[in-house]
Structure 1
Amino acid sequence: MAYLFNNPEDFTDELTEGFAAAYPQWVRRVPGGVVRSSRPAPGRVAVVIGGGSGHYPAFAGLVGPGLAHGAAMGNIFASPSAQQVYSVAKAAQTGGGVLFSYGNYAGDVLNFTQAQDRLNAEGIPARTVTVTDDISSAPPEQAAKRRGIAGDLTVFKVAGACADAGADLDEVARLAARANDRTRSFGVAFAGCTLPGSKEPLFTVPAGRMAVGLGIHGEPGISEQAMPSADEAAELFVSTLLADLPEEVAAAGDLRGSRVGLILNGLGAVKTEELFVVYRRISQLMDEAGITVVEPEIGELVTSFQMAGASLTLFWLDEELERYWTAPASTPAYRKGAVAEAEQGVAVGEHVDYHTAELPAAAAASQEAAGRIQAILDAVKTLLDDKAAELGRLDSIAGDGDHGIGMQRGATAAAAAGREALAAGAGAGTLLQLAGDAWADKAGGTSGALWGMLLNTIGARVGNDAAPDAAAVSAGIVEAGQKIMQFGKASLGDKTLLDVLLPFSDALSEQVGAGVPLRAAWAHAAEVAEKSAEATAHMLPRMGRARPLAEKSLGTPDPGAVSMAMVARTVERQLAARTTPATQESEGDPHA
């Protein structure tokens, strides 16, 4: 477990501050993460990586000459927000465009894609190569659905070295994609990790057993087997990876003469001395297969706090890839060869501070409604403070256990942003949009992006010209559901929050369309939401981190669906609390 921390909610900010203070010769802190402290040549491609904290040296420890130009740092095991990614990219870029690269997790895809779209709209070319090296997370025919684990390093290394060599964005993206196509990883674990402030590990493994096919966010393995010896672990690693070869390698037939980069990665509690014992046998097996290992990396490269586990990565080289795999690099946590001395001075990319723009004008009725919305945001914060542990427990059954704390952070930030906006005279629409921005930024992850989108969309629909009416609220929720489906690539039945949001939206629209006042319509829809959340227990996930562990989630409702239903019921209670004898007489009032 994590022993040294202050307030768990401040853990990521404080570790980033300490990291930047420790390594000023390599990195400087910017909003959302870190970038190189040296000045890259103007017009060079900037390679921006990132993901949740808790994986050091990934991701911030890999920023420096020969590797990444910047790293966006999310909360523990949660993707950075779109704002964080955008801020880091703006600070890192020097005119040659931006290549984003990160593990293929739903939250990262959502947030990095939003940042990429924003950069492209501003005329800064941006591309993405996701890392999909984990063979346990999907079969070969669904390789695009695989997640990224320790193979992140091979893709980042090739992309960073290629960019520093002066290649253009198309070439850097091509080489990064080729590196990903030729990288395979497989991992095992003997015990789970415990996050700062938590009392229980995200998963446990029975004594004498080993979890096979783990992730790096505290996800349990896809199966269990007896605890192996070091040699048996090595043989399992090598045989499993040699049975899942890149297409080009498999087509060549004979593996003799092949050359591979290799990463034997400790996940936190398995130390380097133990890994050397395992590598002894791996080296023998590779020699027997006629495969040459080129500059192996043995140690902690992509960790999962103090998870007791390890993974093996094979990176099947060609002449081009080997040149970049062996190229010099110098970062706080990864050094190879002698890097040419960098230019001095602060990186030239634009520094982006978070700020609130001048608020648009709002009608008095909208400002009054903003106060009622703020009361709802405060109630939601109180709810999620109370339910964070329960939601985390649900999420840990087949996911990474961070849903509760992510929702708590998002609601806390939304309520704080709402109070600030209310004090500044914001209308209902503006308050909701600012609350949505804050939720997405501070929560990060998939749920942060989607809740931010939900609040933003409703806010845009209700506007600031009048008090929100039932029709505007209902239309905003319908539109938000459509946007989330389009952007998140999920649909009804995928065991996500959409399995509550869409039935809730349909029920609310039907009631409002029939002339039912908002509070009564919402009460009916909240009942539908709760039943819909319960029904997700019988579904198998088809999206997100729980997908590789689908069978383990059967019988447990989706945590995102549960939290959506909880919030819906909390809003209903706030609407009902406004009911007085006077308002009861105005059942025809669509605002009531």
Structure 2
Amino acid sequence: MTRLFNDPADFADEMTEGFADAAARWVQRVPGGVVRATAADEPKVAVVVGGGSGHYPAFGGLVGPGLAHGAVMGNLFASPSAHQAHSVAKVADQGRGVLFSFGNYAGDVLHFGQAQERLRAEGHDVRTVLVTDDIWSAPADQQEKRRGIAGDLVVFKIAGAAAEQGLDLDDVERLARHANARTRSFGVAFGGCTLPGADAPLFTVPEGRMAVGLGIHGEPGIDEVDIPTAAGLAEMFVSKLLEELPEGVSVSGSRVVPILNGLGSVKSEELFVVYRTVHRLLGEAGVTVVEPEVGELCTSFDMAGCSLTLLWLDDELEPLWGAPADSPGYKKGAVAPQRRVEVQVDEAADVLPIGPASAPSQALGTAIAGALADVAEALDEAADELGRMDSIAGDGDHGIGMQRGSHAARDAGRLASEGGAGAETVLVHAAEAWSDRAGGTSGAIWAEILTTVGAALGDDSTPDAGVVARAVREASDAVQAFGKAKVGDKTMVDALVPFAETLAAEVDGGAPLATAWQRATDAAEAAAQATADLVATLGRARSHGDKSLGTPDPGAVSFALVCRTVHRALAGATATK
């Protein structure tokens, strides 16, 4: 378990600061993560990687010559925000374009996608390559749904080496995709990881048993078997990975890079015992092993487990895999001399403005700021239970993510309101802060909700119940379009849609806003509880089949809780009129 921390809520920030201080030879800190502290003589395509923290040396430890140019570092097991990704990429871009690469997780896809759109609008050429190497997370005919685990290192290394050679963005992107297509991984765990401040691991495995098909965010495995011997585990790894070969690959005569990766608390000596049999079995299958790696390369905090990755080489990939690299967490060969650089970041450019607003809208903005404070307090009280629900089939961070996001939104909303902001501006400031601080899928979705509602309310009028209902309906539509979820997928949408539909129907029927909101909240709460009967089909819980049956979706539950809290504020405001 994690023993050394101060305030758990500050762990990721303090870790990033300490890492940047310790690794100053390679990196320098910028808002959102780190970038290289050195540069080559000629500008290169910038490879920017990232994801949640808790995976060291991924992601910050893989920044340096021959590897990434920047790493976006989110909170523990939570995707970084779009703001963070935009900030790091903007600094890292040397004028030849940016390649984003990260594991295929819903929150990362949403936030990096938003950052890519913003960067492109500003004139940057940005591409994205998702890592999808985990064979247990989706069938072979649905590889686009697979998540990224230790194959991250492969794709980052190939892309970084290609960029270091001076190749253009088209070729760097093509080679990164090619590397991902020829990479397969399979992981197991003997016990879950424990986040700072938690008194129990995110999941447990019965004594003598092993979770099979785990992710790297503290998710439980997809299956469970008896713990084999080291040789038995090696046989399981190799046989399973040889069953699914990339297109155009045959086993006999192939050249392959095996990467035996420790997930946090399995020691190197144990890994070497396993690798001994991996190496022998690959040789017996007619495979030539090339430059293998054994050690901690993509971890899951202190998880007891390991994974095997196979990169099937060809004439393009082999020299790139063997090319030199020098980063805090991964080194190979001798890189060309680099020159020291100091980046300059204009943090004032990212400060959101406060424009003019009518007096009624300023009053509404003040009321919204008060409601945001109430929401933060309610989520504080519910955080542990939301985390417990999320740990059943996810990574257990929903409660703390909602806490972080709502606290940031509360503070940003208050400051905007005190600065004379109207309703829209208060909500936009709160949305940006929620997304930036919470990260993860929920952070992106709550930012979408607040921004959409704010745009409908505006800064120059006092909206009536009809305007509010339409704003919520627009937010519901925006979230479904944004996150691609629909009713029945076991997500927040299962509560959001009935809330929006009921609110609109009640307002259209003549109910006052407070009454309509109460009835809509009742509908959202009932729908949230009904998700206990659903099997998740989106997000991290999707990979865990029926494990979420019997437990409501935490995103739907937290949405209903926010609605109930806002209703109390509405009812109180109505009672004082």
Normalised by the size of structure 1, how large is the TM-score? 0.96
* Equivalent position of 1:261 in the other structure: 257
- AA of the residue aligned to 1:423: E
User: What SS class does the counterpart of residue 190 from structure 2 fall into?
Assistant: strand
CA deviation map 1:5-50 (0-9, x unaligned)? 0011111110111011011110000000000011245542100000
- AA of the residue aligned to 1:535: A
Instruction: From the superposition, tell whether residues 450 and 244 of structure 1 become closer, same or farther in structure 2 (CA, over 3 Å).
Output: same
For the pair 1:389 / 2:384, whether they are aligned, the reply is yes
Checking the alignment, whether the CA contact within 8 Å between 1:38 and 1:347 is kept in structure 2 is no
Which of 550, 558, 561 does residue 563 from structure 1 map onto? 558
- AA of the residue aligned to 2:420: G
Which of 533, 546, 550 does residue 541 from structure 2 map onto? 546
CA distance in 1: counterparts of 2:482 and 2:497, whole angstroms: 15
Checking the alignment, whether the CA contact within 8 Å between 1:461 and 1:472 is kept in structure 2 is yes
User: What SS class does the counterpart of residue 474 from structure 1 fall into?
Assistant: helix
Checking the alignment, whether the CA contact within 8 Å between 1:87 and 1:351 is kept in structure 2 is no
CA shift for structure 1 position 517: 1.3
Query: What are the residue-to-residue correspondences of 1:129-144 with 2, within 5 Å?
Result: 129-144=129-144
* Equivalent position of 1:432 in the other structure: 427
Query: What are the residue-to-residue correspondences of 1:352-363 with 2, within 5 Å?
Result: 352=347, 355-363=350-358
* Equivalent position of 1:479 in the other structure: 474
Which of 340, 350, 367 does residue 362 from structure 2 map onto? 367
Instruction: From the superposition, tell whether residues 237 and 375 of structure 1 become closer, same or farther in structure 2 (CA, over 3 Å).
Output: same
* Equivalent position of 1:346 in the other structure: 342
- AA of the residue aligned to 2:313: L
User: What SS class does the counterpart of residue 291 from structure 2 fall into?
Assistant: strand
**Structure 1 residues 334-343 or 352-361, which shifts more?**
352-361
**Structure 1 residues 497-506 or 513-522, which shifts more?**
513-522
Query: What are the residue-to-residue correspondences of 1:23-42 with 2, within 5 Å?
Result: 23-41=23-41
CA distance in 2: counterparts of 1:211 and 1:396, whole angstroms: 15
CA shift for structure 1 position 60: 0.2
Checking the alignment, whether the CA contact within 8 Å between 1:266 and 1:275 is kept in structure 2 is yes
- AA of the residue aligned to 1:544: G
CA shift for structure 1 position 353: 5.4
User: What SS class does the counterpart of residue 451 from structure 2 fall into?
Assistant: helix
Which of 509, 512, 515 does residue 510 from structure 2 map onto? 515
CA shift for structure 1 position 579: 3.2
CA shift for structure 1 position 514: 2.0
CA shift for structure 1 position 351: 5.1
- AA of the residue aligned to 1:294: V
Checking the alignment, whether the CA contact within 8 Å between 1:36 and 1:347 is kept in structure 2 is no
- AA of the residue aligned to 2:414: R
* Equivalent position of 2:288 in the other structure: 292
Checking the alignment, whether the CA contact within 8 Å between 2:186 and 2:308 is kept in structure 1 is yes
User: What SS class does the counterpart of residue 502 from structure 1 fall into?
Assistant: helix
CA distance in 1: counterparts of 2:397 and 2:349, whole angstroms: 25
CA distance in 1: counterparts of 2:310 and 2:424, whole angstroms: 51
For the pair 1:531 / 2:521, whether they are aligned, the reply is no
For the pair 1:574 / 2:551, whether they are aligned, the reply is no
User: What SS class does the counterpart of residue 248 from structure 1 fall into?
Assistant: coil
Aligned-pair identity in percent equals 61
For the pair 1:316 / 2:312, whether they are aligned, the reply is yes
CA distance in 2: counterparts of 1:465 and 1:441, whole angstroms: 27
Q: For the aligned residues, what is the CA RMSD? A: 1.2
CA distance in 2: counterparts of 1:105 and 1:354, whole angstroms: 30
- AA of the residue aligned to 1:236: M
CA distance in 2: counterparts of 1:423 and 1:370, whole angstroms: 9
For the pair 1:168 / 2:148, whether they are aligned, the reply is no
User: What SS class does the counterpart of residue 211 from structure 2 fall into?
Assistant: strand
CA distance in 1: counterparts of 2:72 and 2:54, whole angstroms: 13
**Structure 1 residues 458-467 or 200-209, which shifts more?**
458-467
CA distance in 2: counterparts of 1:307 and 1:162, whole angstroms: 32
- AA of the residue aligned to 2:46: A
* Equivalent position of 1:2 in the other structure: 2
User: What SS class does the counterpart of residue 358 from structure 1 fall into?
Assistant: coil
- Count of aligned pairs: 577
* Equivalent position of 1:248 in the other structure: 248
CA shift for structure 1 position 468: 3.0
CA shift for structure 1 position 278: 0.3
- AA of the residue aligned to 2:311: F
CA shift for structure 1 position 114: 0.3
Normalised by the size of structure 2, how large is the TM-score? 0.98
User: What SS class does the counterpart of residue 21 from structure 2 fall into?
Assistant: helix
Checking the alignment, whether the CA contact within 8 Å between 1:48 and 1:71 is kept in structure 2 is yes
* Equivalent position of 1:586 in the other structure: none
User: What SS class does the counterpart of residue 159 from structure 1 fall into?
Assistant: helix
CA shift for structure 1 position 535: 1.1
Instruction: From the superposition, tell whether residues 412 and 310 of structure 1 become closer, same or farther in structure 2 (CA, over 3 Å).
Output: same
CA shift for structure 1 position 412: 0.3
Instruction: From the superposition, tell whether residues 347 and 317 of structure 1 become closer, same or farther in structure 2 (CA, over 3 Å).
Output: farther
In the alignment, structure 1 segments of 5+ residues that lack a partner are 584-592
- AA of the residue aligned to 1:456: T
Checking the alignment, whether the CA contact within 8 Å between 2:41 and 2:338 is kept in structure 1 is no
CA shift for structure 1 position 345: 2.1
User: What SS class does the counterpart of residue 246 from structure 1 fall into?
Assistant: coil
- AA of the residue aligned to 2:283: D
CA deviation map 1:408-427 (0-9, x unaligned)? 00000000001111111111
* Equivalent position of 1:330 in the other structure: 326
For the pair 1:15 / 2:11, whether they are aligned, the reply is no
- AA of the residue aligned to 2:417: L
CA distance in 2: counterparts of 1:41 and 1:418, whole angstroms: 45
* Equivalent position of 1:405 in the other structure: 400
User: What SS class does the counterpart of residue 136 from structure 2 fall into?
Assistant: helix
CA deviation map 1:400-459 (0-9, x unaligned)? 001110000000000000111111111111101100110000000000000011001111
* Equivalent position of 1:465 in the other structure: 460
CA distance in 2: counterparts of 1:104 and 1:366, whole angstroms: 41
